[in-house]
Amino acid sequence: MNLRPIIFRSILTISLTFLCLLGYAQRLTWATDGNSYTTTEEGAIMKYMLPSLEKSTLVSKDVLKPIGSDTPLKVEGYTLTEDGTKALIYTNSKKVWRMKTRGDYWLLDLGTKSLRQLGKGRPASTLMFAKLSPDGTKAAYVSERNVYVEDLASGSIKKLTDDLGTKKLINGTFDWVYEEEFFCRDGFRWSPDSKSIAYWQLDANKIRDFYMINNTDSVYSQIVPVEYPKVGDPPSPARIGVVGIADGKTAWMNVPGDPAQHYIVRMEWTPDGKEVILQQLNRKQNESKLMLCNPKSGDARTIFTDKDEAWVTTVNEWANQPVGWFWLDGGKSFLWPSEKDGWMHLYTISIDGKKETLLTDGRYDVISLDRIDEKGGWVYFSASPNSAIQKYLYRVPLNGKGKFEVLTPVTMPGTHGYNVSTNGKYARWNFSNHYTQPMTAWVELPSHKPLAGQKDLAKEFDPKAKENSNVEYFKVTTEDGVEMDGWMKKPNNFDPSKKYPVVFYVYGEPAATTVGDDFGGANDFIYNGDMAEDGYIHVSLDNRGTPAPKGRAWRKAIYRKIGQVNIRDQAMGAKKVLEASYCDTSRVAVWGWSGGGSSTLNLMFQYPDIYKTGISIAPVTSSLLYDNIYTERYMGLPQENMEDYKAGAALTHAKNLKGNLLLIHGTGDDNVHFQNAEMLVNELVKHNKQFQYMAYPMRSHSISEGEGTFLHLSTMVSKYLREHCAPGGVNAISKP
């Protein structure tokens, strides 16, 4: 539901995006031994050796030219076989809702330089998640919701699944809501012996379509259907099948429980290929079960159960994507995260579920798992025990017998990110804080010394630069006793004797934080100009319920109370901020996007005496209008607590609007449907509440499509803010 989806899709989503834009988060593909990596550069695939960082060309642009073409393939993704003889090239991609996950795949023989396209006869840009078999003789992929296997020697293609002539039976991939909320996209796995494929099948036949109307691409309107289960409706029944490559027959796993009241969110083969392991969630998502399944008989047995009074955080949610199972000791055990002791910690669990070992003990959260170095006996992870707005690299022994070690230089406060090699010896390190622009270097681990020829960032770091920053990080304690982190960006040439307008940037829901100590975290984002130069105080606070590394109790205080707990925390935090003599309480604005748009509306409606101007972009105006997975996870089932849904809905409180409101939405938003805006318009009209309104035709949730869209959006938002919350400092006795 958040604009940029990342437990801790947070520290910080904005900063991760910023780093990617600058190239600091360049994608690396590690060699198995960890002594080299590959990456794409200017259309070619390059190889780097470590620790020397010696560079060579692995795949040149010339060998990527198909026969009869003078233009090389655009490499949008690639995989290399373990023996280094073949490369699978992904190109010509098309978007499937959020990500470009369908396209064309080409097989490149690195020895002969021969290049051929997979999926002959299939429509262009319809292949998804192509993977070579472990023995290198075949490729499997999804096309138009079915799984296919292709023999690489003969080129023969075999269809392994049957959608029964309907687009509602989905094989090897997922429906809209699984993709959006569980980050599930790739829905099949090769067996280690290359003889079988395990895959998801979702039956969306009972999921109603939500219809969007396209009025702009034709003189007649076009209906755009989206398989979208609204909150309160059961999910698409999901099951796991194992299909034999030779006979094409599927054995279905006998997973206990009603498929229409459960989710299957992860699935992998065990390393020996004898069983399939999966994670099942109940519909309320407060009970997680790990099960082992016999791929022939389908028999399933539960080996591990995790429960929570609110919701169980899944690995998918925590890692922001489905990742491979964290196997140890050849499959005799695996690593698993859990909040069951009140903090997000890492455990090793034996394959029979009888033995658990806590690895990361203490009153802190593991923010991310960065690498398992089984040979060296370490697990590398990110955490920040002393400051929830920062992030550092640690390691602990895999045997559970030892304390954690901090590897990041403690003299550099801020946000540190690492891409650790598979052998745990090297890492690409990036760093920034609110007064230090992003820096990156290669280091060796655990010493954290820069590799030869690399910059020593610890020596280049200038702590005195903080003195020149107009961004301050602070803590505020509300009258309810809630302590929140925040940042404040003050105007240039700030004069504490004057009064300035205050603009609050808010998100406030379980999907993201807005306060992180990184460069660009306190940014103006959508403002067309410089807020500091124009004379605004820009502020953001993280309320309870946001996914900050402050423990389970903090994150789950919002359970069943979205639109209530987060809104009061924000409002009471704003009251404390506005006590400063330089804050002009007659000029207070708030703005947010998606969940932040929802919070903006509730703040304007529930606390109209604090917030005088609001800009709400693509908001959910009632949780009853959003999807079942996200909403039921955090709000429970509406059949059981409808009163909480109504109490937290902006629609309920719209009649209280006093100030200036600008409402913005895209009519082609498949995520937060345009109906949210239309229902709010009706409610505001009913109570004769005047407001301004902009509907962008057929723009999605990001409102990014169409020439000139962002400039128009930015210009409109900035103009509205300047008109209704005038910029600039004024003398305390004056009025703006």
Q: Determine the pLDDT at residue 26.
A: 58
Query: Residue 10: is its pLDDT beyond 60?
Result: no
Q: Give residue 695's Cα distance to chain centre.
A: 26
**Rounded Cα distance, 555 and 547, in Å:** 6
Q: Determine the pLDDT at residue 659.
A: 97
**Rounded Cα distance, 566 and 560, in Å:** 11
DSSP at 101:
E
Burial of 454 (0-12, 13-18, 19+ CB in 10 A): middle
Q: Determine the pLDDT at residue 97.
A: 86
Looking at domain 469-731, which CATH architecture does it have? 3-Layer(aba) Sandwich (3.40)
CA angle 79, 81, 87 (to 5 degrees): 50
Q: Is-contact 47 35, C-beta < 8 A? A: no
CA-to-CA separations, 348 to 10, 345, 417, 491, in angstroms, rounded: 25, 10, 24, 50
How large a percentage of the chain has pLDDT more than 90? 90
Q: Is-contact 488 471, C-beta < 8 A? A: yes
Q: Determine the pLDDT at residue 471.
A: 95
**Rounded Cα distance, 239 and 251, in Å:** 11
**Rounded Cα distance, 31 and 373, in Å:** 14
CA-to-CA separations, 196 to 82, 131, 183, 292, 667, in angstroms, rounded: 19, 13, 24, 17, 44
What is the signed CA dihedral for 523, 528, 529, 530, rounded to 10 degrees?
Answer: -20
CATH class of 40-159: mainly beta
Q: Which of 85, 84, 64 is nearest to 75 (CA)?
A: 64
Instruction: List CB contacts of 459: < 8 A, sequence separation 6 or more.
Output: none
Q: Determine the pLDDT at residue 22.
A: 30
Q: Determine the pLDDT at residue 82.
A: 84
**Strand pairing partners for 198?**
189, 242
Average of per-residue pLDDT across 66-93: 93
Q: Is-contact 139 150, C-beta < 8 A? A: yes
What is the signed CA dihedral for 564, 570, 576, 577, rounded to 10 degrees?
Answer: -160
138 sits in which H/E element: strand 138-143
Tens-place pLDDT, residues 18-32: 333 233 345 889 999
Tens-place pLDDT, residues 372-402: 999 999 999 999 999 999 999 999 999 988 8
Q: Give residue 197's Cα distance to chain centre.
A: 27
**Rounded Cα distance, 716 and 695, in Å:** 12
Q: Determine the pLDDT at residue 322.
A: 60
Could you give phi then psi for residue 275, rounded to 5 degrees? -145, 165
Query: Residue 98: is its pLDDT beyond 90?
Result: no
Average of per-residue pLDDT across 117-145: 95
Burial of 7 (0-12, 13-18, 19+ CB in 10 A): buried
Give the number of other CB atoms < 10 A from CB of residue 29: 15
Q: Is-contact 573 567, C-beta < 8 A? A: no
Scanning 551-704, the segments in alpha helix (DSSP H) are: 552-556, 565-577, 595-606, 628-635, 642-647, 650-653, 675-686
CA-to-CA separations, 695 to 571, 593, 617, 678, in angstroms, rounded: 28, 14, 10, 10
Q: Determine the pLDDT at residue 166.
A: 84
Q: Which of 401, 523, 513, 397 is nearest to 470 (CA)?
A: 523
Average of per-residue pLDDT across 116-145: 95
Query: Residue 265: is its pLDDT beyond 90?
Result: yes
DSSP string, 431-449: EEETTEEEEEEEEETTT-P
> In a 3-state reduction of DSSP, which class is residue 547?
coil
**Strand pairing partners for 572?**
none
Could you give phi then psi for residue 707, rounded to 5 degrees? -65, 130
**Rounded Cα distance, 509 and 673, in Å:** 18
Q: Give residue 487's Cα distance to chain centre.
A: 23
**Strand pairing partners for 433?**
436
Average of per-residue pLDDT across 624-634: 98
Buried b (16+ CB within 10 A) or exposed e, 558-570: bbbbbbbbbbbbb
**Rounded Cα distance, 590 and 617, in Å:** 11
Tens-place pLDDT, residues 307-346: 999 999 888 776 655 677 999 999 999 999 999 999 999 9
Average of per-residue pLDDT across 674-691: 98
178 sits in which H/E element: helix 176-182
Q: Determine the pLDDT at residue 12.
A: 32
**Rounded Cα distance, 591 and 584, in Å:** 17
Q: Which of 16, 131, 102, 164 is nearest to 516 (CA)?
A: 16
Q: Determine the pLDDT at residue 593.
A: 97
CA angle 657, 663, 665 (to 5 degrees): 145
**Which pair of structure tokens corresponds to residue 645?**
């849904």
DSSP at 387:
-
**Rounded Cα distance, 155 and 242, in Å:** 23
Q: Tokens 């994150």 correspond to what residue?
A: 555
3 pLDDT band, cuts 50/70/90, is very low
Q: Which of 664, 724, 720 is nearest to 694 (CA)?
A: 664
CA-to-CA separations, 91 to 100, 141, 464, 709, in angstroms, rounded: 10, 14, 46, 27
Could you give phi then psi for residue 459, rounded to 5 degrees? -80, -30
Q: Does domain 161-315 have CATH number 3.90.226.10?
A: no
CA dihedral (647, 652, 657, 662) positive or negative: positive
Delimit the domains of the chain by residue range: 1-32+361-433+435-468, 40-159, 161-315, 469-731
**Rounded Cα distance, 64 and 110, in Å:** 11
Q: Determine the pLDDT at residue 8.
A: 35
2 pLDDT band, cuts 50/70/90, is very low
Strands (E), 390-514: 392-397, 405-406, 415-420, 426-433, 436-444, 471-477, 483-489, 498-505
